[in-house]
Amino acid sequence: MDDLKYWLGFSKISSIGSVQLRRLLDYFGSIEHCWHCATGDLLEIEGVSLRAVEKFQGEKKKIESLEKIEEEILKKDIQVITWKDENYPVYLRQIYDPPMVLFIKGDLNRCNPEKNLAIVGSRKASHYIKEILRKIIRDLKGTDITVVSGMAVGVDSCAHQSAIESSLSTVAVLGSGFDKIYPAQNKDLFKKIADTNGAVISEYYPDIQPRPFLFPRRNRIISGLSQGTLVAEAGLNSGALITASLCLDQGRELMCIPGNVTNPNTEGIHKLIKEGAAVVTKAEDILNYLNWGDISLNKNTNRNNNLKLLDNERKIYEILDLEPRSFDDLINQSKLSADELMSALTSMELNGIITQKPGQNFVKNINN
């Protein structure tokens, strides 16, 4: 692409946002002319202030060579899609302020752009919501649905990982450049997605560091790529509510997984439901709300009904649910001795039937 260097140049400019750059393109006709335009011409464009022009000219001077930054991108094996490219994501193009440049690791062609499902939620996700989310995503196995999220800890990571385990494509949208993966603990997840299961994308030049104000901006891309957004656990101040609002502004379907009403981390969810968000309790609900009637789900018999449990294990299993239960509580309800209970819990944990949480608390796993 002969003009790629100019697009990359603008990706390093903070004074000209995506909306303003589109106005420049409409006015000047090409990205090259936008880069070389005179100050007086810039001031003729609606929404471009003198302060922005002065900052733009100052930022341009700091870029030593456009050819050098283009060479840097090519060396890092990063694909670049610009607003003018035919393969720019069609649903993302429809939002108010689509990114003018997308940096990509992996392959967006692995994903079906007509079947993108955004999943967002709390970074402090409960065991309950993770188990419900894993089950919903497992039930989508064998479909061509792509899971889109933000690769944060909590719900985002659970959504990506569950998609990988179910052989679904997944797209992670970063709030930073590729040189600084955030959070650092998700570097392996980044590599898995880029290498085999889909793509990691960012609108930010690779050297851009993660900053708090960048993450709300990236949320418009998560919802913008998708036909619908599923919110899985969110407090009243959660960033997931920003994505939910953007989803509605973009005219897309907003869905929520209801949670425990005593958990403050679900207050945002129930607020959205009261305001009209669709309620999702199973994978079929998503297909119905998004009119994906051409997709059929492979129903597997729930293993919970056919678990081979010893008597003591069966007794414990019937007491447990998806909220943590303490060791003392299990003793009181099961009437087992401490040794009997510990033996049964150890066996069940080794077999993946339950999970031990901090403080000798135990929860049931949902298995298919």
Please compute the mean of the pLDDT values over residues 206-222 and round it to a whole number. 93
Question: Domain 303-364, what fold?
Answer: Arc Repressor Mutant, subunit A (1.10.10)
pLDDT for the residue 299: 59
Burial class (CB in 10 A: 0-12, 13-18, 19+), 4: middle
31-82 pLDDT per residue, tens = 999 999 888 888 888 878 888 889 999 999 999 899 999 999 999 999 999 9
Q: At what angle do helices 338-350 and 327-334 cross, to 10 degrees?
A: 110
Arithmetic mean of pLDDT over the chain = 91
pLDDT for the residue 303: 47
Secondary structure tally for the chain: helices H, strands E: 17, 12
Which has more confidence, 271 or 349? Answer: 271
Which has more confidence, 51 or 366? Answer: 51
320-334 pLDDT per residue, tens = 987 889 999 999 999
The architecture CATH gives domain 1-74: Orthogonal Bundle (1.10)
152: pLDDT confidence band, cut at 50, 70 and 90?
very high
Q: Give dist(CA 147, CA 165) in Å, integer.
A: 12
Residue 279, classed as helix, strand or coil, is strand
CATH of 106-289, one of 3.40.50.720, 3.40.1550.10, 3.40.50.450, 2.170.190.11: 3.40.50.450
Q: Which residues pair with residue 79 across a beta bridge?
A: 104
The closest of 84, 106, 77, 109 to 10, measured between CA atoms, is 84
pLDDT for the residue 221: 98
Residue 229, classed as helix, strand or coil, is strand
368: pLDDT confidence band, cut at 50, 70 and 90?
very low
Domain ranges of the chain: 1-74, 106-289, 303-364
> How many Å separate Cα 153 from the centre of its chain?
10
Q: Give dist(CA 193, CA 154) in Å, integer.
A: 17
DSSP 307-347: ----HHHHHHHHH--SS-EEHHHHHHHH---HHHHHHHHHH
pLDDT for the residue 348: 86
261-320 pLDDT per residue, tens = 778 889 999 999 999 999 998 999 999 999 998 787 865 544 445 577 888 988 999 899
pLDDT for the residue 306: 59
Q: Give dist(CA 242, CA 245) in Å, integer.
A: 5
The string over 203-223, giving b where at least 16 C-beta atoms fall within 10 Å of a residue's C-beta and e elsewhere, is bbbbebebeeebbebbbbbbb
Please compute the mean of the pLDDT values over residues 155-170 and round it to a whole number. 96
CA dist 48 to 12, 17, 35, 51, 357, Å? 18, 10, 14, 8, 54
pLDDT for the residue 347: 84
pLDDT for the residue 145: 96
Neighbour tally for 313: CB within 10 Å = 19
Residue pair 239/229 in contact (Cβ under 8 Å)? The answer is no
Is the pLDDT at 356 greater than 80? The verdict is yes
CA dist 172 to 58, 181, 192, 256, Å? 33, 11, 11, 20
pTM, two decimals, is: 0.84
pLDDT for the residue 302: 46
